[in-house]
Amino acid sequence: MKPVLTQDQKDKLECFQALKNGTCRCGAAKQTGMAFCFACWRHLPENVRRALYQRIGQGFEAACRVACEYLAAWPPPTKKQGKEAVCK
């Protein structure tokens, strides 16, 4: 029987997996222990960047969700502009 996880547990598990992964949501390489690659992180508003330094279980999950929503709504730059892709 597969264990049943609460939504809070699922959010924490997803955060752990994102931090362990060496690839950002946009497909670019990132450091393990970081939620996003530098290009995606750079495009976030300052208050969201600060919130991503919170610990898991103390606000990181919400900050990560807000960051992903922001990056999904932000139009990625074109290659012609010479900037890296951002999360979709």
Angle at which helices 7-20 and 60-73 pack, to 10 degrees? 70
Query: CA-CA distance, 60 to 52, in Å (whole number)?
Result: 6
Phi, psi angles (nearest 5°) of residue 23? -125, 130
Instruction: Please check whether residue 23 is in contact with residue 11, taking contact to mean a CB–CB distance below 8 angstroms.
Output: no
| pLDDT tens by residue, 1-56 | 777 888 888 888 888 888 888 998 888 999 989 999 999 999 999 999 999 999 98
Q: Does 88 have pLDDT greater than 80? A: no
Q: Does 80 have pLDDT greater than 50? A: no
Tell me the pLDDT band of 63, cut-offs 50, 70 and 90: very high
